[in-house]
Amino acid sequence: INDVEHLACDVLVIGAGGAGLRAAVEARLAGKSVIVISKSLFGKAHTVMAEGGAAAAMGNVNSNDNWQVHFRDTMRGGKFLNNYRMAEIHAQEAPDRIWELETYGALFDRTADGKISQRNFGGHEYPRLAHVGDRTGLELIRTLQQKLVSLQQDDEAAGESEDKLQVIDETTITELFTDGGAVKGAFGYRRSTGRFIAIAAPAIVLATGGIGRSFKVTSNSWEYTGDGHALAMRAGAKLINMEFIQFHPTGMVWPPSVRGILVTESVRGDGGILKNSEGKRFMFDYIPEVFKAQYADNPEEADRWYTDPDTNRRPPELLPRDEVARAINSEVKAGRGTEHGGVYLDIASRRDAETIRKKLPSMYHQFKELADVDITAEPMEVGPTCHYIMGGIEVDADTTASAVAGLFAAGEVSGGMHGSNRLGGNSLSDLLVFGKRAGEYAAEHASASEPPKLTDAEIAAAAEEALRPFGNDGENPYALQNAMQAINGRLVGIIRKAGELEEALTELATLKERIANVSAGGGRAYNPGWHLALDLRNMYVCSVATAMAALERDESRGGHTREDAPGMNPEWRKVNLVASLDGEDVRLTRQAVPTMTPGLLGLFETTELSKYMTPEEYQSSSTEQE
């Protein structure tokens, strides 16, 4: 405990994905000293894996596109449970954030006339995703990293200390320090040595991404254990909408070692279709009532749409993700799945080999190398995989501030923006838009704050907690993670029921004590067992929050499907479920979803609103409009 590395800065950014890096850039541009921490190697965050692109209504490919259409699509995708103000800011600011990336050195794919090209994606009315082949996230991270380096070089040229913008990777934050309801710093350890680190900061941005590792079949990599969600709760912030988890419809299902790895939606955006084991293109059977007006009900019209989107409706393979995932699940359950329990995704019979290799280079290599499948010649086998959590830290839409003073959140760890279901491509734009705002407002908060002081006692307590697994002679962390994944996969997965959710909560409760008793052998250097032991308590509170909210919300909406409560209930549309910690226990309360302004309501037809809202809501909106 004597050997703790002490650091201080104005703005501490936890997480070096797109949201964290964009926040760091903004806070440094505002003149603040910044430290960015990442659990994995610098440059290896989820953001780097994003394939499809970033949604922004630039109107480059179809000039009918604009922020209002993007806003509408986002609200529809989220089934109107979104924080409307976040969706509005996001739709308005995304194009500027994309352009700005080019000024930082990014280079997106181009249209024939030299504009940033945009591709089709599920739920987006027009081609909207700015992309770099199917490696968009890589370009985004590369560019933001380059921007950080250029800011460091500017500092050096101006004779500023190197400490003004530091990146510390392979370091996990395990605690936030608070005082009087405000954050004042964080505690963690360097993964390679196990050495502790304590950072004093009056403003902290959480940008830690998602929770996917609580499920066995997931597109998420090892570090996504809900750390930011749990850190925020323990500091006194609230999580909203934790029941809404996105199961991406197309993960690899075979071989077992790669089960869950993502197959980008661009395959469908670029012409791929879904078929069952009988060879039937089944998505036409699964177009829900609310989407009938926008989706083709026959293959001829669906195919015409690729070249003539103005007079034809879109293919049903491009329905929002929740709809497609449920449809695949139903086909497999009905015995029409593939040999390995998925369905077929076929682009080979639809596009020539050269086009496929050019537009989907990563997918081509992924299947060739991991599954020995040539996607230009044969179909892929795919099935749903846990991909993204819509739920997260409740934040103020404009400033990204949480309920705890000085604590901000952006990117996947925050909640509200995507309502009950996120549209593909809306995450990369989300993290640019709100990452920037988080950096801006965190810097502002730091300017108005005194530099905080951390006490020896609080650092010692955090260190003791982190070392606890070494003193235990108890459970194996991997066994506990497997047990939690099994509970979540079996009872809190894509289709849920009250009885099973109750069972999940009972089973999770038995894990609580076992997790408190988790043990780690070996030393502190390079010890993944110890690291997982510390992650487990985060995964646990997130899992409990999800199961509790899923039990409470007895309707089906977006990323939450209750077999025993099918269909959306307009009364539930008005409710956010809020999870907070009461001591160590998760507490769930209800809170009203913010009511859309009349101006924004006016962007929708009353007939559409009537599918989601109570008559009082949409009638009052139409009266206000007149």
Q: How far apart are CA 239 and CA 261, in angstroms?
A: 27
**Start-to-end C-alpha separation, the chain:** 67
Q: How far is the CB of 625 from ligand FAD (least distance, A)?
A: 32
Cα angle value 165/169/170 (rounded, 5°): 165
Backbone angles phi, psi at 502, to 5 degrees: -65, -40
Tokens found for residue 504: 């999940």
Residue where the block lists tokens 């070494």 = 470
- What is the Cα–Cα distance from 556 to 248, expressed in whole angstroms? 17
What part of residues 43-72 is at the interface with ligand FAD (CB under 6 A)? 45-47, 49-54
Question: What number of other Cβ atoms are within 10 A of residue 515's Cβ?
Answer: 21
Of 93 and 223, nearer to ligand FAD (C-beta) is 223
Contact indicator for 400, 388 with CB cutoff of 8 Å? no
**Exactly one of 166, 219, 481, 621 binds ligand FAD (CB under 6 A); which one?**
219
8 A C-beta contact, residue 573 and residue 590: no
| Among positions 82, 338, 420, 427, the unique one binding ligand FAD when judged by CB under 6 A | 427
With respect to ligand FAD, which residue has the nearer C-beta, 426 or 561?
A: 426
| Token code pair at residue 535 | 């992650």
Q: Rounded to 5 degrees, what are φ and ψ at 36? A: -110, 130
Please check whether residue 596 is in contact with residue 84, taking contact to mean a CB–CB distance below 8 angstroms.
yes
Among 74-82, 219-227, 324-332, 374-382, which window interacts with ligand FAD (CB under 6 A)? 219-227
Rounded CA gap, 111 and 117, in Å? 5
Which CB, 225 or 488, lies closer to ligand FAD?
A: 225
Q: Smallest distance, Å, CB 303 to ligand FAD?
A: 24
Q: Where are the beta strands (DSSP E) in 378-527?
A: 380-389, 392-393, 407-409
Strands 11-14 and 34-37, bridge-based pairing: parallel
* Of the residues 88, 125, 139, 227, which one makes contact with ligand FAD according to CB under 6 A: 227
Where does this chain touch ligand FAD (CB under 6 A) — which range of 217-225, 335-343, 391-399, 464-472? 217-225
Interface with ligand FAD, residue 428, by CB under 6 A: yes
Mask of contacts with ligand FAD, 84-123, x by CB under 6 A?
----------------------------------------
Contact 504, 491 (CB under 8 A): yes
Which one of residues 133, 236, 425, 477 is an interface residue with ligand FAD (CB under 6 A)?
425
DSSP code of 562? Answer: B
* Residue nearer to ligand FAD on the CB measure, 558 or 570: 558
Residue 29, token pair as written in the block:
């541009």
Q: In whole angstroms, give the CA distance from residue 349 to residue 318.
A: 18
Nearest residue (CB) to ligand FAD, 14 versus 586: 14
Amino acid, single-letter form, for residue 4 = V
Contact 8, 35 (CB under 8 A): no
Min dist. Cβ of residue 217 to ligand FAD (A): 13
**209 versus 320: smaller Cβ distance to ligand FAD:** 209
**Least Cβ distance, residue 384 to ligand FAD (angstroms):** 14
Q: How far is CA 121 from the centre of its chain?
A: 17
Q: How far is the CB of 573 from ligand FAD (least distance, A)?
A: 24
Closest residue by beta carbon to ligand FAD: 17
**Shortest separation between residue 331's beta carbon and ligand FAD, angstroms:** 23
Give CA–CA dist 283/20, Å, rounded: 38
Q: Which 440-479 positions form the footprint of ligand FAD (CB under 6 A)?
A: none
Minimum distance from residue 572 beta carbon to ligand FAD (Å): 25
CA distance 329 to 88: 33
Q: Distance of CA 5 to CAs 171, 199, 509, Å?
A: 12, 8, 36
| CA 462 to chain CA centroid, nearest Å | 28
Smallest gap, in angstroms, from Cβ of residue 462 to ligand FAD? 13
Pairwise CA distance, residues 435 & 440, whole Å: 9
User: Which residue in the set 67, 254, 291, 388 belongs to the binding site for ligand FAD (CB under 6 A)?
Assistant: 388
Secondary structure E strands in 207-268: 239-240, 245-252
Q: Which is nearer to ligand FAD, 202 or 209 (CB)?
A: 209
Q: Which x/- pattern, by CB under 6 A, does the window 553-592 give for ligand FAD?
A: ----------------------------------------
The minimum distance between CB 56 and ligand FAD, in angstroms, equals 11
Task: Return the DSSP state at 155.
Answer: H
Kindly tell me which of 137 and 477 has the beta carbon lying closer to ligand FAD: 137
Distance from C-alpha of 187 to C-alpha of 179, rounded to nearest angstrom: 14
Instruction: Identify which range of 155-163, 268-276, 420-428, 462-470 contacts ligand FAD by CB under 6 A.
Output: 420-428
**Burial of residue 514, with CB atoms counted within 10 A of its CB: 0-12 exposed, 13-18 middle, 19 or more buried:** middle
CB 515 within 8 Å of CB 540: yes
Structure tokens at 428: 């990369």
User: Which of these ranges, 238-246, 371-379, 406-414, 448-456, lies near ligand FAD under the rule CB under 6 A?
Assistant: 406-414
In three-state form (DSSP H/G/I as H, E/B as E, the rest C), the secondary structure along 430-466 is HHHHHHHHHHHHHHHHHHCCCCCCCCHHHHHHHHHHH
* Interaction mask 1-40, ligand FAD, x per CB under 6 A: -------------xxxxxxx----------------xxxx
For ligand FAD, the closer of residues 37 and 446 by Cβ is: 37
Q: Which is nearer to ligand FAD, 52 or 59 (CB)?
A: 52
Among positions 93, 139, 223, 270, the unique one binding ligand FAD when judged by CB under 6 A: 223
| Least separation in angstroms between CB 613 and ligand FAD | 28
C-alpha to C-alpha distance for 40 and 173, rounded to whole angstroms: 12
Region from 357-365, 371-379, 409-417, 569-577 binding ligand FAD, contact rule CB under 6 A: 409-417
In the complex with ligand FAD, the residue whose CB is nearer, 438 or 596, is: 438
Q: Between residue 255 and residue 294, which ones bind ligand FAD under the rule CB under 6 A?
A: 262
Provide, rounded to whole angstroms, the least separation between the CB of residue 169 and ligand FAD: 8
Number of residues in contact with ligand FAD, rule: CB under 6 A? 43
Closest distance to ligand FAD from the beta carbon of 23 (Å):
9
Contact by Cβ (8 Å): 233, 587: no
Nearest residue (CB) to ligand FAD, 122 versus 411: 411
- Catalogue the active-site residues: 248, 268
Q: Within positions 157 to 216, which residues make up the interface with ligand FAD, using CB under 6 A?
A: 172-173, 207-209
Among the listed residues 214, 135, 577, the one whose alpha carbon sits nearest the alpha carbon of residue 386:
214
Task: Using CB under 6 A, list all residues that contact ligand FAD.
Answer: 14-20, 37-40, 45-47, 49-54, 136-137, 172-173, 207-209, 219-220, 223, 227-228, 262, 388, 411-413, 424-428, 431
